[in-house]
Structure 1
Amino acid sequence: MELNLTGRDKHSTPDELQNLSAVMIHGDDIFVDQGAIHGKSRLERGIDFRAAKGPEDVPNGEKIAVIWVTLKTYEAGRGFSGIASAELVIDFPHGIGYKAMGPLVNQMDRAVKGRVDVSNLTSEQKAKLADFLQQLRADLWANTPDEVKAQLA
């Protein structure tokens, strides 16, 4: 008997994730890190997330905002569509952290579906994100609906 196996030899991305990006805010730094989509951002590497059952288990942790951002083609062209944020808590010197997978995945899903939920960001973080997106791709920002932009004000 012979097994007839097929498979892919290249990594592929599901269609619904092709327009997804991850923006991270860590203190004064803000940057795109696509590794966050798979839980492997540069800030997450080497951190033990199994040790903490909740954020209180990371007493010296720093809060890191993970913002899922998606694109959509509008009449005027491609622009930002879904923007949803979640949070990580990491104690870098001790190599431990906490991330609630439910909120991270749910917020990613909201962004993929074109929803905006940045309720856990401070007004300073929202302004920083708006400035970052404008500078990153002015063309995308120009095509973004006002109702999306307003939620970052």
Structure 2
Amino acid sequence: MDNPNQPTEKKKLSLNVVSNKQHKGFGAGSIDLSQVACVMIDEGVAYIDVGAMHAKSKIEKGIRFSPDKSLVPNGRPAWIVWVAVDRNESGSYYAGATSCEMLIDSEARKGWKVLPDHVNRLDAALKRKYMLDNIGPDEKAALRKLLTEHNEEWWNNSPQELKDLLV
């Protein structure tokens, strides 16, 4: 007999972003994010932060975001770069890279970002596009350094288009 004081367990929906299993049930046809890495660029340093996939990167934690840039007058610029990895006959390579701008004011715990832009640029990276138009030379150098140090073979196998964008 069930104990009425015992809470009943509910089935929870979960999003598995690391599996490439194919299924045909609820959620079939959803985006496979297992081949995308989240790179943060903050204060001239690029680093991988898997928490960014769920807006829980180191710099986003505890920040209340607004789509109104004027509410974050003292924010420092930071970027999320979605990096897609693919494989061809030469091996793995950086197949897509798109950057999304944010402003972070850690002291005031406020931030600015445009979520639809982040989603659209994630989608573009998954579609093997390069969109790094909103980062400057210091950020490009930091991203190039991270990508080459993370896996030089992947960097060497990457298209010249990416290398030219990060010069």
Give 1:53 shift. Answer: 4.0
Which stretches in structure 1 are left out of the alignment for 5+ residues?
A: 1-6
C-alpha separation in 2, matches of 1:28 and 1:104:
20
Give 1:98 shift. Answer: 1.2
Alignment of 1:36-47 (within 5 A): 36-47=52-63
Which stretches in structure 2 are left out of the alignment for 5+ residues?
A: 1-10, 21-31
Which TM-score applies when normalising by structure 1? Answer: 0.87
C-alpha separation in 2, matches of 1:53 and 1:36:
18
Matched, 1:93 2:97: no
Structure 1 residues 59 and 141, CA, compared in 2 at 3 Å: closer, same or farther? Answer: same
How many residue pairs get matched?
146
Question: In the alignment, which of 72, 95, 102 is matched to residue 81 of structure 1?
Answer: 95
C-alpha separation in 2, matches of 1:74 and 1:151:
21
C-alpha separation in 2, matches of 1:66 and 1:40:
12
Which TM-score applies when normalising by structure 2? Answer: 0.80
For 1:17, the aligned partner's letter is L
**Bigger Cα displacement from structure 2, 128-137 vs 140-149:** 140-149
Q: Partner of 2:16 in structure 1? A: 12
CA contact (8 A) 2:99 2:131 kept: yes
Q: Partner of 2:118 in structure 1? A: 104
Per-residue CA distance 1:56-110 (angstroms, 9 max, x = gap)? 1101101101100000102110010000000111111011111110111111110
CA contact (8 A) 2:100 2:134 kept: yes
Per-residue CA distance 1:7-56 (angstroms, 9 max, x = gap)? 6787522752101011111113221001111111111111111xx34111
C-alpha separation in 2, matches of 1:125 and 1:110:
20
For 1:12, the aligned partner's letter is N
C-alpha separation in 2, matches of 1:117 and 1:53:
21
User: Larger Rg: 1 or 2?
Assistant: 2
C-alpha separation in 2, matches of 1:147 and 1:123:
16
Alignment of 1:16-55 (within 5 A): 16-49=32-65, 52-55=66-69
C-alpha separation in 2, matches of 1:118 and 1:141:
16
Calculate the aligned-residue CA RMSD, in Å: 2.0
Q: Percentage identity across aligned positions?
A: 31
Question: In the alignment, which of 123, 129, 137 is matched to residue 151 of structure 2?
Answer: 137
Look up the SS of the partner of 2:53 in the other structure: helix
